[in-house]
Amino acid sequence: TTRHSIQFGIFGDGSRRHHIRRRITRPLDRIARASKPPPLPPPESTKTLDVLTLPQSPTAPSTTQYQSPVFRPKSYDPTTMQQERAFQSGVQVFIPAALNRPTHTLYSICMVVQPTAQEWTVNRRYSQFLQLKKDLLATLADKARCPGCASFHNALSKFAFPPKALIRTNSIVRKRVAALQDFLKFLVERIFNDLPKCVICGDDVKKMVRPFLIRGAQPIGPSIVTKINASLSLQSYAYVPRTIPGPENPPSKPKNKNLDSSTISRSTQSDDSYASRNDSDPVMELPSSPSASEVGHQSNASSRSSEDSYGKNFDDERCHDSKVPLEEAMKQVVLPKGMSATYEEVLIRLSSMWDAYEDTEAVLASLSPDRRSKRLSATRESADEISF
């Protein structure tokens, strides 16, 4: 089968000539182009199981799951971290509330370290966040920095904090809570992982961030101060598959009542400074090799002075004002945007930030179950108070 097509060509002399080009088309090719492929069969229906709703094996032993008394987003629950992992690192941080005072605002930081099954809370001021960022930028600007330091410095310098305001309304505090929480997440993901780092973006930066997150720690639930001290000094921060068992009688508040000044002052000590590591926790055990232990002890001893000197900038930051009526004090607790909590949870958060309300057992005992479980939430964005 042939087909002719006529084309015109223009040559240098301007004359037009007819050119006949013969193109031979194979019948098989024409048939192949004209025929359409048969429709694909519909894919088999596949049902994906949500990791949070996987059926439990009937033969699997039942374990008691510890529910923390401090409210937090579900994705940060340490009892389900083996099922929903927001980060590759086993360290998570978030800010569940803030406390407004006439002269400043306290921001409650909650830390969860899954490899050691430790959870605690510390309080920091807005100015301390700004100072930490300034110090980190100065450290990462060293001339001997590696490409990781340069990347860290570039990302940190572009991280903008909300500007200072003369009038601190709850809406402004909520914006700060969101920005400060993103800042802490950024630091935790950059520092507490198993990626190779140089001395600057590894050890030096960790010595600055560690006391900021540990100094004045208030243990939550079954956590203890000695393990908290070592939770940010691990050899590996990779996720460890485990189930966190809870006590028979879970506590109703952070255990800050029994912390004395000497215990808090040891929050920046190295992880060789306590003797309760051999408590059936493989993550907390001492190295089996004596040489490795000696080397680690020497390195920790040489870096302890610089770490403690920077840790003096932080302390047990809590409000020491006199008591006011409880309802008025609870209105000073600012919940993040979209967060809701029960009356009991807000009271527990207040006790961790205001020492005048540290003993809340009597108050909780006097409340009815309906009152304790009443949900409190931030009102619409334009409002500045918590709705009770």
pLDDT at position 265: 40
Two tokens, residue 155: 């990302």
pLDDT at 33: 60
- pLDDT tens per residue, range 236-257: 787 776 554 444 444 445 655 4
Residue 254: the pLDDT is: 61
Nearest to 113 by CA among 131, 130, 91: 91
Cβ–Cβ contacts within 10 Å for residue 195, how many? 12
pLDDT bin (cut points 50, 70, 90) of residue 377 is low
pLDDT confidence of residue 147? 87
Q: pLDDT over 70 for what percent of the chain?
A: 54
The confidence band for 178, taking pLDDT boundaries of 50, 70 and 90, is very high
Distance CA 155, CA 191 (A): 13
- How confident is the model at residue 333, as a pLDDT? 94
Q: Is the pLDDT confidence value at 12 over 70? A: no
pLDDT at 112: 93
* Res 97: pLDDT: 95
Give 326-353 pLDDT, tens digit per residue: 889 999 999 998 888 888 899 999 999 9
Q: Looking at residue 289, what DSSP letter applies?
A: -
- d(C-alpha 97, C-alpha 359), whole Å: 19
Which whole number is the average pLDDT over 321-327?
A: 90
State the pTM of this model: 0.64
Q: What sign does the dihedral 184-186-190-194 (CA atoms) show?
A: positive
Least confident of 28-37, 95-104, 135-144: 28-37
Select from 2.170.16.10, 3.30.1520.10, 3.40.50.150, 3.30.1330.80 the CATH code of 65-311.
3.30.1520.10
d(CA 340, CA 371): 15
Work out the mean pLDDT of the chain and round it to a whole number: 70
Tens of pLDDT, residue by residue over 139-161, are 888 776 788 888 899 999 998 88
Asked whether residue 210 carries a pLDDT value surpassing 90, the answer given is: yes
Please determine, for residue 376, whether its predicted confidence score (pLDDT) is greater than 90.
no
Does the pLDDT value for residue 80 go beyond 90? no
In the chain, domain spans: 2-31, 65-311, 326-387
pLDDT score of 217: 93
User: Can you give the three-state secondary structure of 185-208, one letter per residue?
Assistant: HHHHHHHCCCCCCCHHHHHHHHHH
pLDDT value, residue 38: 63
Predicted confidence (pLDDT) per residue in 261-270, tens digit: 444 444 444 3
Q: Compute the chain's Rg from CA coordinates.
A: 30
